[in-house]
C-alpha cells in the first residue's frame, strides 16, 4: 500500500512499527525500539516519501505575491540606504501585509 506523510503522521507508533516490519531498509533497522519522532522520518526515507507537509495557497497566486515581496525588500533596502524613514516604514508595512496574506491563504 502507498502511504502519504499525512497518513503516516496520524498513525500510532504500533501501526508504524507494523508497517516497518514489512520493509527491508537500512533506515528502519531497529524499528521495534524507535519512538515515533525517529520512526516517522525513517519510514519516509525507506518508502521514498517527502517527510514534510505540503502547504497549498488557495485563492491567490503564491508566486506573484513572493515576487512582490522581493520587490518591496529591494525598495526597503534602497530607502534604508537613502535614510528615507517614511518610505522605509511603508515598505516594511507592505512586506508584512503580503506575508500575512500568504499565511491566511495557506490551507
pTM of the model: 0.57
Q: How many CA atoms lie within 13 A of 79 on its CB side?
A: 15
Q: Could you tell me if 60 and 99 are in contact, meaning their C-beta atoms sit under 8 angstroms apart?
A: no
Neighbours of 99 (CB within 10 A): 13
Three-state DSSP class for residue 17: helix
Listed in sequence order, the residues at least 6 apart from 13 whose beta carbon sits closer than 8 Å to its beta carbon are 35, 36, 39
* Tens of each residue's pLDDT in the chain, 107 residues: 688 888 999 999 999 999 999 888 998 899 899 999 999 999 999 998 888 777 788 889 999 999 999 999 999 999 999 999 999 999 999 999 999 999 999 87
Nearest-5° angle of CA 76, CA 106, CA 46? Answer: 110
Q: Where are the domains of the chain?
A: 5-47, 62-105
Amino acid at each position: 500500500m502507498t502511504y502519504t506523510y499525512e497518513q503516516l503522521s496520524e498513525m500510532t507508533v504500533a501501526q508504524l512499527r507494523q508497517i516497518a516490519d514489512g520493509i527491508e531498509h537500512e533506515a528502519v533497522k531497529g524499528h521495534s525500539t524507535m519512538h515515533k519522532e525517529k520512526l516517522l522520518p525513517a519510514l519516509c526515507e525507506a518508502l521514498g516519501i517527502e517527510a514534510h507537509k505540503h502547504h497549498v495557497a488557495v485563492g491567490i497566486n503564491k508566486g506573484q505575491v513572493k515576487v512582490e515581496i522581493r520587490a518591496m525588500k529591494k525598495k526597503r533596502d534602497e530607502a534604508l540606504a537613502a535614510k528615507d524613514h517614511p518610505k522605509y516604514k511603508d515598505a516594511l508595512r507592505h512586506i508584512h501585509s503580503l506575508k500575512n496574506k500568504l499565511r491566511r491563504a495557506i490551507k
